Structure 1
Amino acid sequence: MDEMPGPLAALVTSVLGPDVDVWSRSWPGAASRVWEARAPNGAAVFAKVHSTPKFHRREVAAYESWVTLLGEDTPRLLACDSALPGILVTPLPGVPVKFQPLPPGQDAEVHALAGALARRIHDTAICPAATASALPSAYVLKHLGRARLTDADLSRAQAVLVAAAQVTLPMVPTHGDFQPRNWLYNNDSRVRVIDFERAEPGASVRDFRLLVNGPWQERPDLREAFFDGYGRSLTTDEEIALAGWVVLDALDSAHWGAKDNDAEVLARGLAGLAQLRNGR
């Protein structure tokens, strides 16, 4: 059983009282750990211990700045303890889209709603956004440094990454893990979003990479619905930058999927590399 650490349990009881039921809600294989706690009166919180101080700082910073601007479509930060490091947040209605077998048509509607929410996230920048390289060089060096590619694949990847690194785009708030497992849907014409530990300023296309290497691979109609909801198509520079982010995600997923024996993540990485190889 994944038992809640004592300091986090103390934080929960400080909010809900001493008599609570607790369930583990961690993603399989995830480094950060999550629990749901519920009091007899029905009050509930989600409690999280971050795997690294960096993830903790990112999530708290997002909650304390732009997340509140999204209204009821995101949780609210109730308490945090940087020594753990951990947080308590409010629950949201809905079930992760990843675990809902949506019929054709409804899945496109959900992607359109998610696209509209992504646009709202990127529009929360309070000041005019500064521009910077759409692909930080540190990301490129890290991912290429541990990639195990054939010479031909490495050449293709480098060409895409070099082109993306030459593009400058506005830096806006990004979620960083924007994908169906973090979208909550409740058949109420709304998509809500959770999990901000990878949130940081970046090019908006950073939030599309997991979709290109995920549900959009075999469903271009979902991509079209998403950008209908987003309210605009990508510019040429954004398409070039997105291609770079997609390659980085493929390299990262292939690396970690193999390292952690995670078949789903590995499959995503290999499929992304296959797209690169096939010029898609």
Structure 2
Amino acid sequence: MRQGITDGQSRLLTSWLGEFSVVQDYSWPLQDTNVLHVVTPSGEGFIVKASTTSHHIRREIAAHAGGFDGLHGRVPALRHASAASGILVTEFLPGVLVEGTPAEDDPETYRQAGALLARIHRPAGVSSTYASALTAKTRAWMDRAYGLLPESQLDSFEQALGALRPGVAQLVATHGDYQPRNWLQDNGQIKVIDFGRAEPRPWVHDLVRLSHQRFVHRPELAAAFHAGLGKAVGPAEADLWRLENLNQAIGTVVWANQVGDTAFEQTGRTMVERVLSAL
């Protein structure tokens, strides 16, 4: 068994699957999560995720518990899970990651991804505290960003936060990291994987990274995505949209710096500049 998976997790895995062999290791070194593609002697394939520290395991289990009605074969099916032990097993979903392939530049990919997201976004109630909590989290990121970003940008962030009046938030079951690195392409069909950042949030949350990465200078991809999704950000979501952008931009800078991911940190800096320019 891969180093990092505990004896207890290994015993659970054996009790669930019996004999198996590891086909490929997809582990996330920056997040202390073991991700393995395994197969049983009968040829069944599974993805195993295990960690003793990451909250992503619990989030993914909760996302699957909420159900994905009508999406069998388009999202991984959960077979076994223990939140207490920090381990889950999903059925292996065939396909090739969209990121880095020609499908990443194909509007049809984004149309399908938008349509899938519309089905993933199950209603999850309303919250009168979501916006204030996210504002507090954003200010906490700002406290940790001193020395990483110019004080003028941090001052602009504070002014922007103070001007927002997002009000009550309509929540849905969001994916949390919706972009081509978490999409599969299988004979022209798009599928979605990795619900480790899933959580009830406003629907606009799942559009932030796409808007700062794939949609920059690619209006045809944005148009295809929104056609599949069936909606676009409007005046009703404007302040929540700005708040989500502020939070994810500065959070990217601080988190990437903390884990030593210089390329992702620069992505965050570019996001900060774009967000402030738009505001």
Structure 2 length-normalised TM: 0.87
Which has the larger displacement, 233-242 or 83-92? Answer: 233-242
The match for 1:238 is 237
Please report the RMSD computed on the Cα atoms of aligned residues, expressed in angstroms.
Answer: 2.5
The match for 1:143 is 141
The match for 1:23 is 24
User: Structure 1 residues 207, 165: CA separation in 2 closer, same or farther (over 3 Å shift)?
Assistant: farther
Name the amino acid aligned to 1:58. Answer: R
The match for 1:6 is 7
The match for 1:271 is 270
CA distance in 2, matches of 1:139, 1:119: 27
Name the amino acid aligned to 1:225. Answer: A
Give yes or no for contact 1:21–1:39 (8 Å, CA) kept in 2: no
Name the amino acid aligned to 2:140. Answer: K
CA distance in 1, matches of 2:120, 2:6: 32
Give yes or no for contact 1:213–1:250 (8 Å, CA) kept in 2: no
CA distance in 2, matches of 1:130, 1:103: 34
CA distance in 2, matches of 1:180, 1:150: 31
The match for 2:182 is 182
Query: Is 1:258–2:257 an aligned residue pair?
Result: yes
The match for 1:199 is 198
The SS at the match of 2:108 is helix
Give yes or no for contact 2:75–2:93 (8 Å, CA) kept in 1: yes
Name the amino acid aligned to 2:108. Answer: E
Q: Deviations over 1:142-161 (max 9, x none)?
A: 22221233332123222333
CA distance in 1, matches of 2:85, 2:182: 23
The alpha carbon displacement at 1:6 in A equals 3.2
Which has the larger displacement, 256-265 or 174-183? Answer: 256-265
Give yes or no for contact 1:163–1:240 (8 Å, CA) kept in 2: no
The alpha carbon displacement at 1:50 in A equals 3.5
> What stretches of structure 1 of length at least 5 have no aligned partner?
none
Q: Deviations over 1:192-249 (max 9, x none)?
A: 2111221111111111112122222232322222111111222213233222212211
Of 128, 131, 134, the match for 1:132: 128
Percent of residue pairs identical: 29
CA distance in 2, matches of 1:175, 1:99: 21
Give yes or no for contact 1:12–1:37 (8 Å, CA) kept in 2: no
The SS at the match of 2:79 is strand
The alpha carbon displacement at 1:163 in A equals 4.2
Q: Deviations over 1:30-78 (max 9, x none)?
A: 3322111112321111111136363333221111113355332111111
Give yes or no for contact 1:33–1:51 (8 Å, CA) kept in 2: no
CA distance in 2, matches of 1:58, 1:47: 15
The SS at the match of 1:196 is coil
Name the amino acid aligned to 2:49. Answer: K
The SS at the match of 1:58 is helix
The match for 2:48 is 47
User: Structure 1 residues 251, 268: CA separation in 2 closer, same or farther (over 3 Å shift)?
Assistant: same
The alpha carbon displacement at 1:26 in A equals 1.7
The alpha carbon displacement at 1:275 in A equals 0.9
The match for 1:65 is 66
User: Structure 1 residues 220, 31: CA separation in 2 closer, same or farther (over 3 Å shift)?
Assistant: farther
- How many residues in Structure 1 have an aligned counterpart in Structure 2? 274
The match for 1:77 is 78
CA distance in 1, matches of 2:28, 2:200: 25
Q: Deviations over 1:101-140 (max 9, x none)?
A: 3374x2x111111111111111x22x7x324356323322
Name the amino acid aligned to 1:150. Answer: P
The match for 1:169 is 169
The alpha carbon displacement at 1:24 in A equals 1.1
CA distance in 2, matches of 1:60, 1:227: 28
Structure 1 length-normalised TM: 0.86
Give yes or no for contact 1:8–1:47 (8 Å, CA) kept in 2: no
User: Structure 1 residues 195, 110: CA separation in 2 closer, same or farther (over 3 Å shift)?
Assistant: same
The alpha carbon displacement at 1:262 in A equals 1.0
Which has the larger displacement, 252-261 or 49-58? Answer: 49-58
CA distance in 1, matches of 2:30, 2:153: 28
Give yes or no for contact 2:49–2:88 (8 Å, CA) kept in 1: yes
> What stretches of structure 2 of length at least 5 have no aligned partner?
none
CA distance in 1, matches of 2:115, 2:54: 31
